[in-house]
Structure 1
Amino acid sequence: MSSYIQDHPAEFGGSYLDEQTHTLHVLTVGGATSLKAQKSLSDLAIRSTATTARSESAGPEWTLSTQAARYSMATLQETRDRVSEAFAREAGNNLTIWYADPRTDTVHIGLNKVKPRLVKLASEDFGDRVTVAQEEQHKTMDKRTKVDGPVSYSHRTPELRDTGVTKSGTAASTPTRLLDSVPYAGGDRIVSTQTIDGVQYIVECTVNFDFVTSSGSPAMGTAGHCGPTGLSWRQGYYDESAQTIHYTGTMGSAYTRIWGNGKSDAELLNDTGNPDGFWPQVYTTSTALENVGSVSPVSVGQKICADGSFTLQSCYGMVTATNVCENVNDDGTIVKVCNLDVAEGVGGTLVQSGDSGGPVYTSGTPHHPLGIISAGTADGLTLDFADMGSVDISLNAYPESSS
């Protein structure tokens, strides 16, 4: 349903889900009220698969509700793109977020400080097609630890996941997402040493899914802001108190990346230094793995699970915006990032530093990939994630299904 609506932006004003009433609200404009369009909508199954992305177990019936919209998605997307130009230059870093909101039939403009001059400018340029509100700037969710002295390394190798054969080295007691078996799975923590602006840091992030690439080469995903291409990542974690990196081996080297300049936030690691490759499952606890399904589109109102290696699985998320552009704070540098989706934590936190690159997926099993953890608010209640549909196209790769 959401894919059909997205493919007809001139006829629809968007759509959003209401989980409490199991209603899919579709905003119609112009040609969408035609009998042909109405029939196309009614022919599409409205089930819980709209939110659980084709879950194996059938859920309750969903009700379709159509409403008239003033503006089409095409009009609002054009307005959003115009916000990225002259208004963005005028607002500078005070502009935090902007996106088309189907619930208000406007483009939402978030400002760190709502200044009368900018409100007046938005009204003059866009009229009632925009809504201006205060919204704090979000920050990237990698974990950077500054180090002044030498760092020790402790190599620990658990059993092979598929054969049970123990390799040489000091064995980790039980494979976890901190010290994992090979082949490595989604949700693992990764660690690297990086020199940033002349300062040495230990950087920790999370990987998301085993990817299928156009070349057939194995790859594992993480966030683009975690580090540059050519950087090698270990699977493991940093013990700050002992200034020691505990690791099981090399996860891989970053070889392709999208980050900023109006693009999304994703990166793929190859298997350089990792002869055992990657595993098409994701960690959902410290030790438990679950299967991965096919990629699913993201809808406003949808429930989601975020799964960083610090927060672990958190299924408190509710999508509040899709196809978002933001000026994200990357450790003091403001970066324009687009093709993000936003979720709010309803009853719990979603993200913290170190979760960057982790998987975002549907609840239920198998978990259908939705995106990659990118940024969020300091309190962890708001999550920004790179939309997997956009990532697939940009990287010419997609998460491998477990089945």
Structure 2
Amino acid sequence: MSYRRAFTIVTAVVLGLTALAPGANSAPPDPRNDVAWVLAEEDAGAVRAYVEQHPQDFSGFWLDRARNRFVVAVPEGLDAAPRTGALRRLAPVRAASAFTAPVEVQRRPTSLAVLNDALAEVGEELTAATSPVNSWYVDEQLGKVVVEVGEDVAGATASVTESVTASVTGVVDADLVSVVTVKGRNTTHKAVVPVREPVKAVKVTKSRVDELNAMAYPGPDREYDHLPFYTGNRIIRWDEGQVSWCSSASVNYARTHMYTAGHCFVVGQEILQGYFDQAANLIYYSDEIGSVVSSQWGNNRIDAQSLSTTKYANRQYHGGVTTQNYLTQFKNTSAYTGMRVCGNGSVSGTRCAGELVRTNVCVTYADDGVTPCGMSVVQSLTTTPLSQSGDSGGPVILDSTGTGAQVVGIISGGNDTQRTLFYSPIAAACAQVSPFTCD
């Protein structure tokens, strides 16, 4: 299903070019728009962050790949020149960049601030609802809050959609919301396996690998890592008759904390680096990582947690599960619709060809009924899903980072029917779990 929707452009201005829709009214050309503004991919994250920080001044920011243009949307009735001028000062023209595109200014009836308020009102109404609602979010290109109703086995009925529509239009203006139907269920990507008791955990040292037949290869890799650990590796815990595992996403710059998904573990639990051999009922682990110290997971919250640990280097695995390739981790960034990203979990390895299609989304997970918010959604551009069970907590990175890993988020879950990946933005994780900063 495509999440691109048709809309009417009242005014479109490419900085350096002016194009008016038929019959549209416009202010006199601003001389500061006479010179084309070309934005580099490296600076787009800073522009996006500024737009999010000033929602009353903007209606959105995204990359229109079909037309090879960045788009800045400004509410009707506001002077665009000082607002786009502030963005230009954030992103000077670069002499060389892997990707650049001109910036176009478009008009929308409503600001992000109004849409965000409407999103909150809709969320309060839907959180208590029993109807099969998959997600709700602000579609900046459409200029509306979109509510997705999930089809059940028999297919969604018109009465269900009508009921949801009546519910949400009772709390916000009907012009601000659109209800659509989608296929598939959303699930977290934490791997959980029921086990027979007792589960034995064996710390694998270099001298005992062959003796225990832990793996056919000595590592280091995602499943059996060596100190210092690299993010993107397997992290694991067992208790209450089950073994569960996820992936590690990122470290803060001081390398005192590691981030993963909030639904993976519980505050206070000690976590291991290693993997589970189901046939032998054994956990092979290389070392203890540390304990979970802070977590966000639940309705209207993001999906992130942090572990206190100094055992991770500023490196990240890249490629297959058992390959030893890695990237240097650098510069977290704000994400924008249209950017290309990769999922990088410990089960799937690195899977790219994903495009960010939505931000600031509330997603209902069918496996546990929790609805985290502030999420971002990535659509696979191929027939291959970007992540699977066990990849939860792994990093989402930019698709064009060369030798470095630019982290944008933490894998949460997905909808394999739609080949989608849900993630928590890394900036939100840094702000909302200890140490409450990426520094």
Interval of TM-score (by shorter of Structure 1 and Structure 2): 0.7 to 0.9
Q: Is the 8 A contact 1:293 1:368 kept in 2?
A: yes
Q: Is the 8 A contact 1:31 1:37 kept in 2?
A: no
Between Structure 1 and Structure 2, how many residues are aligned?
Answer: 370
- What is the letter of the counterpart of residue 247 of structure 2? T
Deviations along 1:234-292, one digit per CA (max 9) or x if unpaired, are 11111212222121111221111111131111111123xxxx71111110123111011
Larger Rg: 2
Equivalence for 1:180: 225
Displacement, 1:336? 2.1
> Matched residues in 2 for 1:60 and 1:384: separation?
25
> Matched residues in 1 for 2:388 and 2:126: separation?
31
Q: 2:355 aligns with which of 318, 322, 326?
A: 318
> Matched residues in 1 for 2:392 and 2:299: separation?
19
Q: 2:101 aligns with which of 62, 65, 82?
A: 62
> Matched residues in 1 for 2:308 and 2:272: separation?
12
Q: 2:259 aligns with which of 203, 221, 227?
A: 221
Change in CA separation of 1:32 and 1:181 when aligned onto 2, cut-off 3 Å: farther
- Worse-matched range after superposition: 361-370 or 299-308: 361-370
- What is the letter of the counterpart of residue 337 of structure 1? P
Equivalence for 1:151: 199
Q: Is the 8 A contact 1:46 1:62 kept in 2?
A: no
1:334 and 2:369 correspond: yes
> Matched residues in 2 for 1:381 and 1:62: separation?
28
Change in CA separation of 1:34 and 1:116 when aligned onto 2, cut-off 3 Å: closer
Runs of 4 or more, structure 1, over 6 Å off, are none
- What is the letter of the counterpart of residue 301 of structure 1? G
Equivalence for 1:53: none
Unaligned runs of 5+ in 2: 1-46, 151-155, 211-216
Equivalence for 2:312: 278
> Matched residues in 1 for 2:234 and 2:437: separation?
20
Q: 1:359 aligns with which of 389, 395, 404?
A: 395
Change in CA separation of 1:240 and 1:144 when aligned onto 2, cut-off 3 Å: same
Displacement, 1:209? 1.2
Deviations along 1:343-397, one digit per CA (max 9) or x if unpaired, are 0111132010000000111121321111100111145811110111111111244
- What is the letter of the counterpart of residue 207 of structure 1? S
Q: 1:37 aligns with which of 61, 79, 83?
A: 83
Equivalence for 1:132: 179
Q: Is the 8 A contact 1:108 1:131 kept in 2?
A: yes
TM-score by length of 1: 0.85
1:83 and 2:117 correspond: no
- Worse-matched range after superposition: 124-133 or 216-225: 216-225
TM-score by length of 2: 0.79
- What is the letter of the counterpart of residue 393 of structure 2? G
> Matched residues in 2 for 1:169 and 1:93: separation?
54
Q: 1:211 aligns with which of 252, 271, 274?
A: 252
Displacement, 1:87? 4.1
Q: Please provide the CA RMSD for this pair.
A: 2.3
Displacement, 1:134? 1.7
Change in CA separation of 1:399 and 1:315 when aligned onto 2, cut-off 3 Å: farther
Change in CA separation of 1:170 and 1:101 when aligned onto 2, cut-off 3 Å: same
> Matched residues in 1 for 2:251 and 2:90: separation?
31
Deviations along 1:124-183, one digit per CA (max 9) or x if unpaired, are 44312111112344111000001134323343235xxxxxxxxx6437623111111101
Displacement, 1:317? 1.2
